[in-house]
Chains A and B, each alone.
Chain A
Amino acid sequence: MIVVDIMFKTEIYHQMGFAVLRICCTFAGIKIKHIFMNHYETVFILNPVLSEDQIKETVKKYEDFLVSKGAEMVNKEDWGLKKLAYPVQHKKSGFYHLFEYKVDGATIEPLEVMFRRDERMMRYLTVKLDKHAIDWAVERVKRIKTGA
């Protein structure tokens, strides 16, 4: 019950508050997991020679990985096949995908290791979103919905 309470509160508290909270909890002997949820955004480019099924499978793989680590998916976008501004791995286009999610910061490193090992992945970029970025992300989703 205590753990649930803490999880609820962290949404409001600032990063410094988190650190203090974590120390307090270790003193009190309460184990906490995945409560330091940060807001992240990942854009990645998949190889254009893949078939549609392979792309769906790859995207699903990463999504499942994130969810298994306790991530909360906020937004998913498929930009489709886009032309690249310059050739990457001798290819002139790629499938762009975007994930927006809340997860504990320790999950990012294994995710990027997976990206690096995956030969289907041409490029990736993970960015932590600050409060202005989150506001813009919400606004952006709204604009896309009304525009489409």
Chain B
Amino acid sequence: MATIEEQSKGKNDGEIRYLTPLDIETKSKTRFCRFKRAGIKYVDYKNADFLMEFVNEQGKILPRRLTGTSLKYQRKVSQAIKRSRHLALMPYVGDLLK
């Protein structure tokens, strides 16, 4: 690795130096909870089509780091999915649901 003094003398062994910092996004996109945004207060277990958005292909509940749901509503979503499963509106296990 060449030091700055060596580089100024013309020595350059493969090190890339930038005059302007690269435009790399360090902050991820602002996430939002869709329940808070839409003003939904109650998650209905009867609406299985809607709850399908919160499970993966195997029918497992997705973590909130992927769906962006706030903790308050994630609890309600998981409760609703479990009720929905009990009533056979949603599967406990599935294959290629989406």
Contacts and interface: CB of A to CB of B under 8 A. Distances in A.
A130 B41 CA distance: 11
Interface in B55-98: 83, 85-94
A115 B93 CA distance: 26
Interface residues of A, number: 18
Interface residues of B, number: 17
Main SS class of interface, A: strand
Contacts of A135: 41-42
Interface in A68-127: 84-86, 88, 94, 96, 98, 123, 125, 127
Given A86-B91, A86-B92, A132 B42 contact: yes
Interface of A: 43, 45, 84-86, 88, 94, 96, 98, 123, 125, 127, 130, 132-133, 135-136, 140
Interface of B: 41-42, 44-46, 48, 83, 85-94
